[in-house]
Structure 1
Amino acid sequence: MAHFLGEFECKLDAKGRMVLPAGLKKQIPEVEREGLVINRGLESHLVIYPRREWDRIMEELSKLNTFERKTRDFVRKFMRGATELSLDSANRVLIPKSLLEYASIDGEVVLASQFNKIEVWAKETYDAQWEDEGDDFASLAEEVMGNLNRRVDG
């Protein structure tokens, strides 16, 4: 599967509908045929998956041992609010009110590409993440990516 690219600022209308940006729609040619799925993200945001990617995740989740309490709790929390989205004739998707409330979204949103999914953030929340970035990004990059090419001797 191809990875998404870009950040897109959008506005919701009074009914909670959002126009899927043309630049993003071009990256998901199968969206009109297969649809999308939206659910809660891990950090007060929402996540949109192309249907094919959602089905792949469901296949992985179905392999987990649901006799374990932590697994059941995780699956319930992950699935909570999951909703199919489809484009209307004006290229809009309707985001459920419960999900908008979860992510504190009320008006402006940022769609941020994350490999095979799209994060949906309240614009204020998204922008606040970058206010005190400073040298933290360089330190984070070193910590996360610094050992990527080192050979482990055993």
Structure 2
Amino acid sequence: MLFSGVWELPTMKKAKLPVDAATIPTLYGTPASYADSHSFVLPRQLTADADKRRDVYKFVSDILKGSLAWAEAGHIPAYQPVVQSPGYRQLSPQIHYANAADIITYDPESWFSGSGSDWQTYFAEHIQNVLLGRDKATTGWDGFVARTNDLLSRPNPV
């Protein structure tokens, strides 16, 4: 068993590793799948050029419409015509965890969370030792909770 990001699928397939993927089974009665999302941010401009705005919208639209390539790389597309397309439905093992999109759970909103954040690093520091057999599960969890409580006690630095 390997806990990894779905973006590793192309590497595993290229190495001809027999691999499948699935969402993590429901724990504690609540189906959930950790997620993060890529976002396009189009800054507000006081004086926007109509032609440039149209070109930007077309660019973003083309990326969304071409998101089957992201799906081939392991990601779950959000653009529904791609999600419903035969091309996506034929991707394996991607289709085996496509249901994760229905049970997405994001990090709680706070100044220290989010993809690639220190909070995720702190979680990994504590859980890694559990997975390696160096700590008991309760020790790892208690350490992560203590670190989180410390962060919660600090004011937002921004």
TM-score by shorter chain over 0.5: no
Question: Larger Cα Rg: Structure 1 or Structure 2?
Answer: 2
Bigger relative CO (Cα 8 Å, ≥ 6 apart): 1
